[in-house]
Amino acid sequence: MSKPAEHMVLNAFLMSTGHHEASWRLPESNPYAEADVHHYVNLAGIAERGKLDSVFFADSPGLWGASNSVARRPPQTLEPTLLLSAMAVATSRIGLIATATTTYDLPYNTARRFASLDRISHGRAGWNVVTTASTEASANFDYAEPPTHAARYARAGEYLDVVLGLWDGWEDGATLGDKASGVHTDPDRVHRLDHVGEHFRVSGPLNVGRSEQGHPVIVQAGSSVPGMALAASYAEAVFTAQRTLELGQAFYGQLKEATRQAGRNPDHLKILPGIVPIIGSTEEEALANERRLNELMVLDHPLAQLAADIGVPVDRIDLDAPLPTDIRAADEIQGNRTRYELVVEFARKENLTVRELLWKLGGGRGHRTLTGTPEQVAEDLQLWFENGAADGFNIMAPVFPSGLETFVDHVVPLLQDKGLFRTEYAGTTLREHYGLPIPVGGERTRRSQARPA
């Protein structure tokens, strides 16, 4: 067993006016924040002031939700790699993680955009690799139906091999810039990939060289069986939704073991469960804050979504009763299977009414809501961090900017006092913040050349 990391990782998951779906309706929120780069630069500045490791954006190439429910909150207006490029030049330390799909893009484009962000930010980029389950996305890319779960993950594995191979094609020191000889780039230190696979044929090399951290950090967020397999082989950080300490420990142990079995050092994969902190100076105040947000939710559309998810007509669901019992089995789901299982298990375990379930989902979309004082939140994080359930956390403030400010100003100092979190950045790159090794350029190329064909 390796020595646990001294400090936890803290990532701020950013989203327009907040993770709570009704956050834009609060009088203090700017309902146009989703299109305002200054709003996001301000959030990155708050995160950097708190010495957080990174900020993160989710993404899907489609307008959320086929039904009218989409109209209940701001869309995700800005593509995250571009938004993070704009934020990169206004910050100096904070890591910048963007989600991008492997199902509806091409690996040369993805490799290049992330390598560019990594160069622009001087080694602060991360790529959250997703396979994108939604039909709203597939319909924008020539598909009548999304590819199956298995097909998406098979493509994702090859996609990652291509992207990592392209990033690896440049060795350190390939750029000479030797004015005297007239040789700018050493051709012996830039390698073609010549990948030929089931989904892609990519010659390379990439036309962007290595950054200060070698290449972007690979992040993964699906906790299904194929998702965990992909994470064990490739991921350096995992965002996950775990409802209880026991479930969190089980997931943590399982994924670290799978990583070991994949021949990797488990310390080089950081497991970061999401939490939604709803903070008040007293517990009562925190509970009142939560209720104020929940009461702003309009429940008819999430109810229709839930009904579709579980395969039960809306009129058979009573808002003030528990979920019906005769609902669809998880293995009939081709979409986001992890989330489905989570929602159903969660409702049953906590014995929630449908209204309470929808409130909880609207607040954190299946993630754990921590409602309490800064001390209570800090203690909870400490408990998970010190008991084999987390290497750090994905912080999902319900309201921006106030929720992030509160976390940074009131929870972070408590974690620092406990010696659980840094008081200054020790490095400048995302890999340094997370305690990840810097990959050596050309390593994968040499390994594949050493292997008999």
Partner 1 sequence: MTRKLSLNAFLHDTGHHEASWRHPESPVGRAHDISFYVEQARTAEAAKFDGVFFADVPGFWASTPYRPAAHLEPITRLSAIAAQTTHIGLIATASTTFYEPYNLARLFSSLDILSGGRAGWNIVTTQSDLVARNFSLKAIPSAEERYTRAQEFIDVVTKLWDSWEDDAITADRESGVYFDVDKVHQINHVGSHYQVEGALAAPRSPQGRPVYVQAGSSNEGRAFAARNAEAIFTAHQTIGDAQAFYADIKGRAVGLGRQPDDIKILPGISAFLGDSESEAKELEHYVNSLTVPAYGLAQLQNLTGTSLQHLDLDEKVPAEIFGDAGNVLDNSRSRLQVVANIVDREQPTLRQLLHRLAGGRGHNVVAGSPTQVADIIVDWFENGAADGFNVMPPLYPQLLDAFTEKVVPILQDRGVFRTEYEGTTLREHYGLDRPESIYRAGAAAVATA
Chain residues 230-289 in contact with partner 1, contact rule CB under 8 A:
none
Site for partner 1 in 294-313 (CB under 8 A): 296-298
Nearer to partner 1 by Cβ, of 109 and 387: the residue is 109
Report, in Å, the least distance between residue 254 CB and partner 1.
Answer: 34
- Beta strand spans in 314-436 (E): 368-372, 392-395
Nearest alpha carbon to residue 298 among 69, 75, 74, 76: 69
Judged by CB under 8 A, the residue of 179, 295, 320, 450 near partner 1 is 179
How far are the Cα atoms of 161, 163, 193, 263 from residue 157, in angstroms, in the given order?
Answer: 6, 10, 16, 16
Instruction: Report the distance separating Cα 393 and Cα 238, nearest Å.
Output: 10
Instruction: Report the distance separating Cα 258 and Cα 72, nearest Å.
Output: 40
Instruction: Report the distance separating Cα 36 and Cα 19, nearest Å.
Output: 17
Binding mask 62-91 for partner 1 (x = CB under 8 A): xxx---x-xxxxxxxxxx-xxx-xxxxxx-
Residue count of the chain, please give it: 453
Give the residues across from 57 on adjacent strands. Answer: 98
Question: Coil, strand, or helix at residue 39?
Answer: helix
Stretch that binds partner 1, among 195-203, 258-266, 334-342, 384-392 (CB under 8 A): 195-203
When asked if residue 334 is in the footprint of partner 1 (CB under 8 A), the reply is no
Report, in Å, the least distance between residue 170 CB and partner 1.
Answer: 8
Name the CA radius of gyration of the chain, rounded.
Answer: 22
Report, in Å, the least distance between residue 212 CB and partner 1.
Answer: 11
| Cβ–Cβ < 8 Å for 320, 306 | no
Nearer to partner 1 by Cβ, of 207 and 249: the residue is 207
Instruction: Report the distance separating Cα 30 and Cα 26, nearest Å.
Output: 9
Judged by CB under 8 A, the residue of 5, 39, 45, 119 near partner 1 is 119
Stretch that binds partner 1, among 202-210, 286-294, 348-356, 433-441 (CB under 8 A): 202-210
Nearer to partner 1 by Cβ, of 37 and 440: the residue is 37
Instruction: Report the distance separating Cα 257 and Cα 253, nearest Å.
Output: 6
| Cβ–Cβ < 8 Å for 231, 220 | yes
Stretch that binds partner 1, among 49-57, 135-143, 229-237, 382-390 (CB under 8 A): 135-143
- Beta strand spans in 46-90 (E): 54-57
Instruction: Report the distance separating Cα 65 and Cα 311, nearest Å.
Output: 16
Judged by CB under 8 A, the residue of 8, 164, 190, 230 near partner 1 is 190
Report, in Å, the least distance between residue 369 CB and partner 1.
Answer: 21
Instruction: Report the distance separating Cα 283 and Cα 356, nearest Å.
Output: 19
When asked if residue 355 is in the footprint of partner 1 (CB under 8 A), the reply is no
When asked if residue 428 is in the footprint of partner 1 (CB under 8 A), the reply is no
Size of the site for partner 1 (CB under 8 A): 75
Write out the H or E segment, with its range, that includes residue 206. Answer: none
Instruction: Report the distance separating Cα 448 and Cα 274, nearest Å.
Output: 37
Report, in Å, the least distance between residue 226 CB and partner 1.
Answer: 23
Of the chain, the end-to-end C-alpha distance in Å amounts to: 36
Judged by CB under 8 A, the residue of 5, 58, 140, 157 near partner 1 is 140
Judged by CB under 8 A, the residue of 18, 146, 165, 209 near partner 1 is 209
Report, in Å, the least distance between residue 106 CB and partner 1.
Answer: 6
Judged by CB under 8 A, the residue of 8, 94, 117, 241 near partner 1 is 117
Strand 175-178 and strand 183-185: the pairing is antiparallel
Binding mask 2-41 for partner 1 (x = CB under 8 A): --------------------x-xx-x---xx--x-x---x
Stretch that binds partner 1, among 182-190, 237-245, 316-324, 382-390 (CB under 8 A): 182-190
Nearer to partner 1 by Cβ, of 40 and 434: the residue is 40
Report, in Å, the least distance between residue 19 CB and partner 1.
Answer: 16
